[in-house]
Structure 1
Amino acid sequence: MALRLSQSRGLFTVYDAAGLALAAGDLDDVERWLIDRTRYPKPGPAAKPTPPAWAPWVDMFIAEQQAAKRRPGTITTRVKHLLVFARSRPDVTPMTVTRDDLVNYIGSQQWHPRTVHGVRASFRLFFRLLVDLGHRTDDPARTLPAVRIPRSVPRPCPDHVVKAAYANLEDDRLRTAVRITVETGLRRSEVARVRSADVEGRRDAHHLHVVGKGGHERSVPISNDLAELILSAPTEYLFAGRTGAPITSDHLGKLISQTLPGAWTAHTLRHRFATMAYQASNDLRAVQELLGHASPVTTAVYTRVADDAMRRAAEAAHIS
């Protein structure tokens, strides 16, 4: 497939021959996407072309999102939401889309509420921009139905599962990836980009400098052993691909998940870290900072309360 690379204010976008935007970000993001695409080719028919009427408005949206300093991954996701809709409705343009068009489109999809929430947010951002800049007088996405996301149940990977999986690992890099995830609770995207230069501090007070979602920075304490392991890496990035750039977070997440039995995944290791950290400290704010969450409400979803703690809490209300 012929691909075209376009640059706009430092943001690189990969298009296919039909003009469909396939990926966007900085050069490192695009390089990782190309490597991953080569390693894991997508099966199935080629994607439908993007209606030409959408192209200039989507490019404008990308430029605005970049100016707002949104992360490349966030921009890519939002653009994907728009283009999937555009390809499904080649009969409408950004200037003719109605509220009913958007409501019927979202309502016809068998999506998880969290996905619906993200698509709705992308539509609202895009059409609000068109109104703010005077290209439309009405906003078809402004009153889209709000989505209620069901409360998630924490799923911390059991300790015996983690220890057994770690003990059976023979690949040194994968052992390191699992250990970092287990001992720091980092997101898979954060683990994928760990560098030896990110280790800061001194012996018995080492910490790992992490750049998380939205570019927010935090420091996560690590042990001397883990610090030495990271510092001994032969490459800048611990989990570098053939070009020296870090491997994709999806690929690393799959590798880690494959070491765990059943339905346990890399993300359940993050739940385990959150649960154990809260049980040890009883400080939700501290756990929030360690995980890099913007709100303690999100952190609460990650932390499972021990059965004995709930029993003690309930017994405190007994009459006798």
Structure 2
Amino acid sequence: MDFDAKQGQPAPQLPPEALQYLQHVRVEKRLAARTLTLYTLDLQRLTALAADVQLPLLRLTSAHIRRFVAQMHAGGRSGRGIALILSGWRGFYAWAARQGLVPHNPVQDVRAPKAPKPLPKALGVDDAVRLAEHEQAGADPWLEARDAAIVELLYGCGLRVGELVGLDLAASPAAHQQGRGWVDLQAGEAHVFGKGAKRRSVPVGRAAAEALRAWLAVRGQAADAALFIGRRGARLTAQSVWARLRQRSQLAGLTTPVHPHMLRHSFASHLLQSSGDLRAVQELLGHASITTTQVYTRLDFQHLARVYDQAHPRARRK
């Protein structure tokens, strides 16, 4: 039986060694009441599982702990939830080992099942285009030009938000030293410094180039070398980009609030759907390993599966 207080099952009586441990963490570690409650629940769960195999806590082995992990996983508990429970058990047995109550910690080398990595969220092509082409009637022309250029660069070039706000108007020795990129409109390229100060160049498409020229025409002569600035002339922050993009997506009528990395995911997914060239997408995104890029093949498969479900005669349910 997997004990779960939320399901209304009775809490098993804790053995003396578990009570001593809880007293230890309460007095010595001065844990918060909420944390102490979680430790107590973890030990009640362990006591219930130990009762199932008719053994006291101090006689459990690593094999028993692995069995309990398998039971919890089969019962639907998440890998993260199991990891938190194991952490509580590990602390108890580490204390017991220091007290000489057990020869070793049976939880030491037991790990929770790996949680599947969630797929990155990407917009559909229609939603991405709608966001890029959105024009708000009566909006401030200065803000509208800037935000349109931001969307085009994030979606058209697959930039990270840190790379975007790190762009300067032009190349300079200071930009190189401080790891800042720049856009060369004449060459149609953006030069950015990604993770680990790794530099890469990405093409700037026609729509992005037009949006940038429109922005530069109204940007003004601010002292800051940054390509994207706020009203006070200082370099735009990543937080500001998040906020503006969220607002813009709502005004464009998108049901999902958009954040900068979603546009990067959309760039990769849509490019892969059109070209199928995984290596090229890897280079454009600046991924050190192609395994990082391969997650977008799963997105691409989801897209193909939806097309199949909607179009193939044998996929349609009566």
TM-score, with structure 2 as normaliser: 0.48
Between Structure 1 and Structure 2, the one with more strand by share is: 1
Between Structure 1 and Structure 2, the one with more helix by share is: 2
TM-score, with structure 1 as normaliser: 0.47
Q: Which structure would you say has the larger Rg?
A: 2
